[in-house]
Structure 1
Amino acid sequence: MSCLLKYKQRFFILMGLLLPMSVFAGGPPVKSEMDNPLAITLVCVSIGLLLAIGGLAYVVLSAAQLFVLKYKEEQKATGAGTAGKVLSVLVLCLATGLLHAQDAAADAATTAPVSTQIAGMSQVSFYTLVSVIALELVVILALLFNLKVLLGRQKAAVAVSEVQEEKVPAWKTWWSKMNSFRSMKEEAALELNHDYDGIRELDNKLPPWWLYGFYLTIFVAIVYIWRFHVSNSAPLSQEEYAIEMEKAEAAKAIYLAKAANNVDESTVKLLTDDASLEGGKKIFTTVCAACHSADGGGGVGPNLTDDYWLHGGNVKDVFKTIKYGWPEKGMKSWKEDYSPVQIAQLASYVKSLHGTKPATPKEPQGELFSESNESGAAAPAAKDSAAVSLR
């Protein structure tokens, strides 16, 4: 405080030196010019600006002293001389500006002609007062600039200290915002005065992400009810099941239609439906009746109605015989003439002839075949080496 009082005394001494400037700058007047309204106005303005300078100077000195005290706390090694240097520089800057103003006023007084008057005032008095006002404005601007600089440094120091104190990672800040975490300092304000065996209940809010998720479910429920139960723009679960079953049946039919031509001797099945047997009968009548007779009783080829077969009697063996043929026995391959489906129909029709009574049956050829025991014992039978056999 003693240091502050010392600098205040220096300031007011300088202000006392500045006050008589407006009196001595004009020189010895011939008659009083204080009755001139312009002179009174200029003097009032000068005095008002001087008071403003005094107030700003006090504020600047206080801010400078506060800044120096903080600086001393941070930089203890610099000692007390740093504060005195800072204040001395500020006071010297102010005094230098005032001395320059006095020199300008003296120059104006020596160079201006005396005989010419401005608004009832001599040029010396007029320019002296105007110079003083201009100087005071410059001083005010300088003080405002210094005050701004000091305040800016203090704010920067506070901001830097806050940043240095709290270096929280970005992800923690984001997580805190997402969960609306409250600091420990606010815990007392959150208490509900409900104590359960030492466990205190706090009035914590639900996390924002939970609330937004809950609001989203409400919105989805409204849209669902409107779409499925009000506007009926989408099928319910039972309707959707029926639609999917129809699609599956259509896909199954397409698959079966495409898979039918993939039949071979290892996958062929015995066909018993009338359409398949009728198709096989037409092929048999067209190409097989010439060798095996129309009723399957045999001719050049063997009898197809008895239990004896030359090359196996199940549907797969018959399919294979028709597909690849037995060229060495006069039986051609029909795989280039008919599709696998047609060959399967023909093989099934041949199997359907078993047990029928042909008009002129041919004697048995080959080995005895039984559906229950395909490897049944062979029975002797007359063989015709010249016969063309489907079996």
Structure 2
Amino acid sequence: MKRLLIRLITGIVTMFFALLASPTLLLAADAPKKSSMNNPIAIVIVVVIVALLIVIALLSYVLLGIAQFYVKRAKEQAQQNGTAAKTTVLLLCCLAGFSAFAQTDNAAVVTDRSIGGLSEATFFTLMTVIAIELAVIAALAWFLKRLMAKEETRQAAEIANAVPKDSLLKRIWDRANRFRAIHQEADIDLGHDYDSIRELDNRLPPWWLYGFYCTVIFAAIYLWRAEVSKSAPSAIQEYTASVAEAEKQKEIYLANAANNVDENSVKLLGADGIAAGKMIFTGTCAACHGTDGGGGVGPNLTDDYWLHGGTLKDVFKTIKYGVQEKGMKSWKDDLSPVQIAQLASFVKSIKGTKPATPKEPQGEPFKENTADSANATKTTASITQ
């Protein structure tokens, strides 16, 4: 419909301007004829006016139909627009008829100048009618184009809403891999078939390519910094720094782990721990037990008799919680678990030594286990040496 209307309007306008360009019809020197309707120019112009009226009627009909279809809720307004368009067509028809009658009335008037055998008033009146018709056609075509564009937009929106959209994650996944469609595999098939496994000349996925490009860039920067400009540490320097950092972390871990020791998890320490325990004993315990552990106010710690148990765990517990009825205070608030373990290890290490002035035995005899006794004897020998 749209192409037909365009071709019709183009043909009418072309014919009209072809007639205007004819030198034998325009600006005739002879006097106008008695009847304007017998003039070929008048006949052609009237035909053009009628054809344009037909075009206006067709456009009005199409415009009215689209408006009624698209604007259902505004049916009354669409009908009013259609009525206005029909009224415009009727008015133009009346104007064309009036122009024709005016030509008949003015045909008998003889003027000095004429255009194609028509008087100037008649000619310009007909041209005005044609101009008004063309303006109306342009307006109707513009409204028709607007309505058709809205309809196409609505249909496109309905189609877009009808088709479910992929999730953001799926779109990212498809973009990162950029798979070939199944119907395109025939274009990249290399013709090699191994047990129904076909070899395709497929492009590597973008994520793999970009990852490879990043490694190349990183390698170039690292090579420049480590080997050329020496602005970054070498592999050996990084290893040395990592080992030193690991040793620090190990010391911190061991210190924290040692602070978690109690009477149930205490173990006999080595020479370094016993030496640290000896210093603690000299500063806190020598006043009651003697410098060499032979006893004083407190019992002798070098013999086989013990008042509160002779195992390492018993000694740790006695130091930690104290014995209030015997006058020994609790050291858990003054010493850390590590220091109590060191002090207990030192007390166990001086068993069997010969103090200068040993105190008489107190408590019950205690026999050390074979393994614990061997460890204590070995540790005492290392300290003595």
Q: Quick check: 1:252 aligned with 2:246? A: no
Aligned twin of 1:130: 124
Are the structure 2 counterparts of residues 101 and 273 from structure 1 closer, same or farther at C-alpha, using a change threshold of 3 Å? farther
CA distance in 1, matches of 2:335, 2:258: 13
Contact kept in structure 2, 1:265 and 1:320, CA below 8 Å: yes
- The residue that corresponds to 2:320 in the other structure is 323
CA gap of 1:266–1:63, structure 2 versus 1, over 3 A, is: same
| Aligned match of 2:376 | none
- How many Å separate the matches in 1 of 2:208 and 2:102? 78
Unaligned stretches of 5+ residues in structure 1 = 1-7, 20-32, 37-45, 72-87, 375-391
Indicate the residue corresponding to 2:29 in structure 1. Answer: 35
Task: Out of 54-63 and 217-226, give the one that drifted further.
Answer: 54-63
In the alignment, structure 1 residue 371 sits paired with structure 2 residue 368: yes
Q: Contact between 1:56 and 1:144, CA under 8 Å: does it hold in 2?
A: no
| Offset, 1:180 | 8.5
- The correspondence of residues 150-169 of structure 1 with structure 2, limited to 5 A, is 169=163
Q: Paired residue for 2:279?
A: 282
1:253 to 1:181, Cα distance in 2 relative to 1, 3 A: closer
Supply the distance in 2 between the matched residues of 1:63 and 1:190 (Cα, whole angstroms): 51
Secondary structure in 2 matching 1:226: helix
Aligned to 2:341: 344
Q: Secondary structure at the match of 1:316?
A: helix
Alpha-carbon shift at residue 360 of structure 1 (Å): 3.5
- CA shift, 1:336, in A, is 4.1
Distance 1:278 1:230, change over 3 A: same
Q: Quote the Cα distance in structure 1 between the aligned partners of 2:281 and 2:156.
A: 102
Contact 1:323/1:333 (8 A) holds in 2? yes
Amino acid paired to 1:364: P
Higher CA-based Rg: 1
Structure 1 pair 215/321, CA: closer, same or farther in 2 (3 Å)?
Answer: closer
CA distance in 1, matches of 2:246, 2:192: 63
Describe the SS at the equivalent of 2:285: helix
Letter in 2 for 1:347: A
CA distance in 2, matches of 1:285, 1:156: 100
1:222 alignment partner in structure 2: 216
Preserved contact between residue 304 and residue 354 of structure 1 (Cα < 8 Å) = yes
1:354 aligns with 2:354: no
Matched-pair contact (CA < 8 Å) for 2:300–2:361:
yes
CA RMSD of aligned residues (A): 5.9
Q: Which amino acid aligns with 2:214?
A: V
Q: Which residues in structure 2 correspond to 1:1-391 (within 5 Å)?
A: 34-35=28-29, 50=45, 53=48, 57=52, 60=55, 95-102=93-100, 121=113, 125-145=119-139, 169-171=163-165, 211-232=205-226, 245-274=243-272, 276-372=273-369
Native 8 Å contact 1:269 1:315 kept in 2: yes
CA–CA distance in structure 1, aligned partners of residues 294 and 179 of structure 2 = 96
Partners of 1:241 and 1:121 in 2: CA distance? 111
Does the 8 Å CA contact 1:285/1:294 hold for their aligned counterparts? Answer: yes
Task: Provide the rounded CA distance (Å) in 2 between the counterparts of 1:284 and 1:182.
Answer: 83
CA contact (8 A) 2:49 2:96 kept: no
Tell me, yes or no, if the aligned pair for 2:305 and 2:364 is still in contact at 8 Å. yes
User: Are the structure 2 counterparts of residues 227 and 52 from structure 1 closer, same or farther at C-alpha, using a change threshold of 3 Å?
Assistant: farther
Total equivalences in the alignment: 301
What are the Cα deviations for residues 15-40 of structure 1, in whole angstroms up to 9, with x where unaligned? 9xxx9xxxxxxxxxxxxx9439xxxx
Aligned counterpart, 1:41 = none
Q: Which one is further off, 237-246 or 320-329? A: 237-246
Asked if the contact 1:97/1:139 (under 8 Å) is kept, the reply is: no
For 1:90-121, what per-residue CA distance to the aligned partner results, in whole angstroms no more than 9, with x for missing partners?
997764341133456689x69xxx99x9xx74
Amino acid in structure 2 at the alignment position of 1:50: I
Tell me how far apart the structure 1 counterparts of residues 341 and 240 of structure 2 sit (CA, whole Å). 35
Deviation at 1:262, TM superposition (A): 4.1
Q: In structure 2, the residue corresponding to 1:253 is in which secondary structure?
A: helix
The alpha carbon displacement at 1:335 in A equals: 3.4
Query: Aligned equivalents of 2:182 and 2:165: distance in 1?
Result: 17
Specify whether residues 191 and 250 from structure 1 end up closer, same or farther in structure 2 by C-alpha distance, changes over 3 A only.
closer
Deviation at 1:137, TM superposition (A): 1.9
1:271 is aligned with what amino acid? L
Unaligned runs of 5+ residues in structure 2 are: 1-7, 20-26, 31-40, 67-85, 372-385
Taking a change above 3 Å as real, the CA distance of residues 146 and 285 of structure 1, as seen in their structure-2 partners, is closer
Q: Provide the C-alpha distance between the structure 2 equivalents of 1:223 and 1:153, rounded to a whole number of angstroms.
A: 56
Quote the offset at 1:248 in angstroms: 3.8
SS across alignment from 1:296: coil
Task: Give, in angstroms, the shift of residue 152 of structure 1.
Answer: 7.6
Aligned partner of residue 171 in structure 1, secondary structure:
coil
- The residue number in structure 2 matching 1:382 is none
- Structure 1 residue 321: Cα displacement: 1.6
TM-score (normalizing by structure 1): 0.53
Distance 1:302 1:229, change over 3 A: same
Q: Is the 8 A contact 2:56 2:133 kept in 1?
A: no
Supply the distance in 1 between the matched residues of 2:192 and 2:250 (Cα, whole angstroms).
Answer: 69
CA deviation string 1:217-238 (max 9, x = no partner): 3432333323444444888999
